[in-house]
Amino acid sequence: MNLIAILVGTLIAGVGSVWIAATLSFGVLARYTQHMLSLAAGALLATAFIRLLPEGFESGVEVHVLSATLLAGLLFFFLLDKAELWHHGHEHHPTLPTLDQAMVDADVMHGHAHDDAHAHADHAGHHHAAPLAGGGWAVLTGDAVHCFGDGVLIASAFLSSPALGWAATLAVLVHEVPHHMGDLAVLHQGSRRKWRTALLKVSLAGAVTALGGVVGWALVEGLAGLLPYLLMLAASSFIYVALADLIPQLQKRLNARQTAAQIVWLLIGMALVIAVGLAGPEHAH
């Protein structure tokens, strides 16, 4: 039963996030992409601090050891981020566009972009001028590796408890949406003819999440003692992504209405994770 839940959860997180990203990038919801940042940040932080960390600390393992694992995980993801930036800069591959750049692409797809938006994108070194061959496959390879890791983390959460697994699935789903929007923006290169191919390629990369889930299920079932440490690693991943990637993009000078919208969507993300936890079997009574 655990394996079936893991497969469903990883496919929802891995492939579902790609299709949501495509809808936001190319569909009528493109104007709401900024809200996904707040939603993702809230879900990630709530999953880490309300679900993963308490579950790990209640395992009976020495708190100081788990805290050191959490700290090591944060440092690891920081160094991984630095290595990826160095690789892209050294190899002259196009980096993933920011969410704002992805929004410019979405406007281009709908014919609403203005000349100044095109000028800004060109000035910023936007991917339209970059060839697909090197950068595109680099993006897909990196995406597949990242999705594999997400699958292992989701499997670890499901093996701890079903409610924790679904909370982790939700957190991965919402935080992968902005990332996949960047992937799609790189691969379709502003062309209407390429977006279906780009969607297929990124969906296949997202499906690697299920492979990571199966591997995680096989390894953790045989090495149950590693589960608390894997939960710490998952928490460090979610905390790092929220605080180092998503929150900084929300730190903009906004009017009162826009700031209120950010806070509301942040709270919605947290509330969704809490609701999933309360719906778990351990709370049924």
pLDDT digits (tens, 9 = 90+) for 119-161: 333 333 333 333 344 446 666 776 787 788 889 889 988 988 8
**What single letter denotes the amino acid at residue 222?**
G
Going by C-alpha positions, the residue among 5, 8, 1, 20 that lies closest to residue 176 is 20
| Phi, psi angle pair for 22, to nearest 5° | -65, -40
**Is 285 a member of any domain?**
no
Using an 8 Å Cβ cutoff, are 261 and 95 in contact?
no
- Amino acid 197: pLDDT: 80
Instruction: Inform me whether the pLDDT recorded for 31 exceeds 70.
Output: no
**Is 122 a member of any domain?**
yes
DSSP letter string, 173-213: HHHHHHHHHHHHHHHHTT-GGGHHHHHHHHHHHHHHHHHHH
Domain hosting 39: range is 2-279
**Is 284 a member of any domain?**
no
Instruction: Inform me whether the pLDDT recorded for 190 exceeds 70.
Output: no
Q: Is the dihedral of CA 216, 240, 45, 201 positive or negative?
A: negative
Using an 8 Å Cβ cutoff, are 55 and 227 in contact?
no
The model scores a pTM over 0.85? no
Using CB atoms within 10 Å of the CB of residue 281, give its burial: 0 to 12 exposed, 13 to 18 middle, 19+ buried.
exposed
**Is 200 a member of any domain?**
yes
- Amino acid 116: pLDDT: 38
- Give me the number of domains the chain comprises: 1
Going by C-alpha positions, the residue among 33, 41, 24, 32 that lies closest to residue 263 is 41
Half-sphere exposure at residue 69, Cβ-oriented, CA atoms within 13 angstroms: 19
72: tokens are 């090591």
Residue 109's pLDDT band (cuts 50, 70, 90): very low
14: tokens are 């891995």
Using an 8 Å Cβ cutoff, are 185 and 113 in contact?
no
Of 28-37, 76-85, 194-203, where does mean pLDDT reach its minimum?
Answer: 28-37
DSSP code of residue 111: T
Q: How far is CA 65 from CA 59, 119, 265, in A?
A: 12, 52, 34
Of 2-16, 124-138, 158-172, 246-260, where does mean pLDDT reach its minimum?
Answer: 124-138
Instruction: Inform me whether the pLDDT recorded for 240 exceeds 50.
Output: yes
- Amino acid 182: pLDDT: 65
What average pLDDT does this structure show over 202-206?
A: 89
Q: How far apart are CA 25 and CA 36, in angstroms?
A: 12
Using an 8 Å Cβ cutoff, are 183 and 200 in contact?
no
pLDDT, one tens digit per residue, over 50-67 is 888 988 898 888 999 999
